């Protein structure tokens, strides 16, 4: 690695890559023209040191190359000794990128700091950092536009605005320099390829810029609120109530109409909850560069909230009970997530996996319980089948579908034949009452018994 780095650095005629690993939050590289600036060469050196020094949590890959052939490093952070969370379930996925615009150093700095904070925290045994890295994967592409960064310009080397070059309503807004076609540029094509291959199941995507101090959620294309407005508003209110006064708005209204952005692509095409995090534009910090963690402390507090709570940024349906009685199925389902879903369905599958019955699509609102009843033919459920919830993680059309099994202990069958038999004996079928009280029993009528009774 040392030799490779020397070769890499020898190719770069820009400022020296001097940095001191002893300073925990020292910005790599020297200031250029008196403002915060990290060269791609210095960053390359630093992220490789992270990977060499902390292989248990840092996995470094390149998403591709810039137009001039510079690697687009992705720092992947997690407790790589475990494929899953400690409880055996899949880790949550977070995607972060910085540096679309080569002259927006503080935004790039926030992406860098988002990696550095968890690396330092892990090494210090910080409880929050350890919990996050045990339960999630953070994929952080710190500098998407190294060519523009090294010549201190917004554009890439082809004079294209990379954050107008994504394949989501590309070039449909008054905009400048969106490129010759969606994904015409190596940087955006590589970013989209990485997203589509490695983080398709992400429940958070934050893209980092510099400008007005604001956080923007979709859409940039339209002034209307996005389908998952509830989720975005909940996050906005929680941040503003206790973490930061930073304004959080729909991008179109908060900034101006913008199309072909990575934020709208991430939400509209991938179905992620996406945010553009704009740090302020006071990039010219006199004096010390050691205090980046303090300089961006409030922004980092917001990032820690978004990352630490990623489990909640989707619908999380949890079936409380399924009761089948008198040709009716009653479903009680809670949503522990903070996103709604509009396309939920309960399925009954045969042991071979065939869907024998599925409910119509229904909506389950965020942080709510929903009770629904469906007319059913009880005979469908005679097999020793399984129950599944099939739904989209969020309301947006592009949201990922999940199919999760339902614990059979919540399923109760009330036998019709017993109802009829007991008519006149009492108001309630004692079997049903008993099962309801126990709440744990499953009674599936054997098929032979039904055939005998019905015929």
Q: How far is the CB of 187 from Zn ion (least distance, A)?
A: 13
Q: Can you tell me whether residue 244 is helix, strand or coil?
A: coil
> Six-digit token pair at 87?
């409880």
Q: In the complex with Zn ion, which residue's Cβ is closer, 252 or 390?
A: 252
Q: In the complex with Zn ion, which residue's Cβ is closer, 116 or 209?
A: 209
CB burial of residue 290 (10 Å; 0-12, 13-18, 19+) = middle
Q: Which stretch binds Zn ion (CB under 5 A): 208-216, 355-363, 365-373, 424-432?
A: 208-216
Site for Zn ion in 217-276 (CB under 5 A): none
The residue of the chain with the least Cβ separation from Zn ion equals 209
Instruction: Output 440-446 pairs: Cβ under 8 A, ≥24 positions apart.
Output: 440/409, 441/409, 441/412, 442/408, 442/409, 442/411, 442/412, 442/413, 443/412, 443/413, 443/415, 444/381, 444/382, 444/384, 444/413, 445/382, 445/413, 445/415, 446/382
Backbone angles phi, psi at 37, to 5 degrees: -155, 135
Q: Can you tell me whether residue 375 is helix, strand or coil?
A: strand
Site for Zn ion in 91-130 (CB under 5 A): 101, 104
Q: How far is the CB of 208 from Zn ion (least distance, A)?
A: 8
Q: In the complex with Zn ion, which residue's Cβ is closer, 277 or 413?
A: 277
Q: What is the dihedral of CA 321, 326, 328, 334, to 10 degrees?
A: -10
Q: How far is the CB of 61 from Zn ion (least distance, A)?
A: 24
Q: In the complex with Zn ion, which residue's Cβ is closer, 37 or 209?
A: 209
Q: Which stretch binds Zn ion (CB under 5 A): 10-18, 206-214, 281-289, 335-343?
A: 206-214
Q: In the complex with Zn ion, which residue's Cβ is closer, 134 or 149?
A: 149
Number of residues that bind Zn ion (CB under 5 A): 3
CA distance 344 to 368: 14
Q: In the complex with Zn ion, which residue's Cβ is closer, 50 or 170?
A: 170
Residue 177 in contact with residue 159, Cβ under 8 Å? yes
Residue 259 in contact with residue 221, Cβ under 8 Å? yes
CA distance 396 to 264: 12
What residues does 142 pair with on adjacent strands?
none
Q: In the complex with Zn ion, which residue's Cβ is closer, 122 or 267?
A: 267
Q: How far is the CB of 411 from Zn ion (least distance, A)?
A: 52
Q: Can you tell me whether residue 12 is helix, strand or coil?
A: coil
Q: Can you tell me whether residue 231 is helix, strand or coil?
A: helix
* Residues 6+ positions from 369 with CB-CB distance below 8 Å: 320, 332, 333, 334, 335
Member of 209, 263, 393, 394 binding Zn ion (CB under 5 A): 209
Q: How far is the CB of 162 from Zn ion (least distance, A)?
A: 9
Q: What is the dihedral of CA 131, 317, 333, 431, to 10 degrees?
A: -80
Q: How far is the CB of 40 from Zn ion (least distance, A)?
A: 17
Q: How far is the CB of 30 from Zn ion (least distance, A)?
A: 23
| Interaction of residue 295 with Zn ion, rule CB under 5 A | no
> Six-digit token pair at 425?
């004996």
Site string for Zn ion, 401-440 (x = CB under 5 A): ----------------------------------------
Q: In the complex with Zn ion, which residue's Cβ is closer, 51 or 216?
A: 216
Q: In the complex with Zn ion, which residue's Cβ is closer, 281 or 450?
A: 281
Q: Which stretch binds Zn ion (CB under 5 A): 39-47, 192-200, 207-215, 337-345?
A: 207-215
Q: How far is the CB of 249 from Zn ion (least distance, A)?
A: 16
CA distance 329 to 360: 12
Q: Which stretch binds Zn ion (CB under 5 A): 1-9, 203-211, 213-221, 248-256?
A: 203-211
Q: How far is the CB of 296 from Zn ion (least distance, A)?
A: 16
Q: How far is the CB of 100 from Zn ion (least distance, A)?
A: 6
Q: In the complex with Zn ion, which residue's Cβ is closer, 37 or 101?
A: 101
> By the criterion CB under 5 A, which residues form the site for Zn ion?
101, 104, 209
């Amino acid at each position: 690695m040392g030799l490779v780095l020397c070769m890499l650095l020898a190719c770069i005629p820009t400022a020296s890559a001097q940095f001191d690993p002893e300073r925990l939050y020292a910005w790599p590289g020297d200031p250029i023209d008196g403002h915060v600036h990290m060269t791609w060469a210095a960053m390359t050196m630093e992220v490789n040191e992270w990977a060499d020094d902390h292989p248990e949590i840092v996995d470094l890959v390149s998403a591709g190359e810039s137009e001039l052939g510079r690697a687009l490093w992705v720092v992947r952070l997690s407790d790589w000794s475990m494929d899953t969370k400690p409880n055996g379930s899949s880790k949550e996925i977070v995607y972060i990128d910085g540096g679309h615009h080569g002259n927006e150093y503080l935004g790039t700095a926030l992406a860098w700091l988002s990696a550095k904070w968890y690396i330092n925290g892990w090494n210090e045994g910080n409880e929050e950092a350890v919990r996050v890295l045990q339960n999630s994967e953070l994929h952080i592409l710190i500098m998407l536009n190294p060519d523009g960064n090294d010549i201190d310009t917004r554009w890439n080397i082809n004079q294209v605005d990379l954050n107008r070059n994504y394949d989501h309503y590309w070039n449909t807004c008054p905009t400048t320099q969106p490129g010759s076609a969606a994904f015409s540029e190596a940087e955006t094509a590589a970013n989209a390829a990485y997203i589509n291959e490695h983080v398709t199941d992400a429940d958070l995507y934050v893209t980092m810029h510099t400008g007005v101090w604001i956080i923007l959620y979709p859409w940039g294309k339209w002034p209307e609120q996005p389908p998952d407005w509830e989720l975005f508003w909940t996050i906005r209110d929680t941040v503003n109530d206790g973490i930061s006064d930073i304004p959080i708005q729909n991008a179109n209204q908060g900034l101006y109409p913008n199309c072909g952005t990575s934020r709208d692509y991430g939400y509209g095409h991938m179905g992620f909850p996406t945010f553009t995090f704009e740090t302020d534009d006071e990039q010219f910090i006199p004096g010390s560069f050691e205090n980046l963690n303090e300089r961006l402390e409030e922004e980092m507090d917001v990032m820690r909230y978004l990352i630490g709570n990623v489990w909640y940024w989707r619908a999380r349906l949890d079936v409380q009970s399924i009761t089948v009685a008198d040709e009716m199925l009653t479903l009680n389902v809670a949503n522990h997530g903070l996103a709604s879903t509009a396309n939920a369905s309960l399925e009954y599958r045969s042991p071979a996996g065939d869907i024998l019955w599925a409910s119509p699509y229904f909506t389950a609102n965020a942080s709510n319980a929903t009770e629904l009843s469906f007319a059913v033919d009880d005979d469908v459920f005679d097999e020793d089948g399984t129950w599944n919830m099939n739904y989209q993680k969020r309301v947006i059309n592009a949201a990922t579908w999940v199919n999760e099994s339902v614990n059979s202990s919540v399923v109760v069958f009330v036998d019709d034949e017993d109802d009829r038999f007991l008519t006149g004996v009492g108001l309630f079928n004692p079997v049903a009452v008993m099962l309801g009280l126990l709440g744990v029993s499953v009674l599936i009528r054997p098929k032979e018994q039904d055939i005998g009774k019905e015929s």
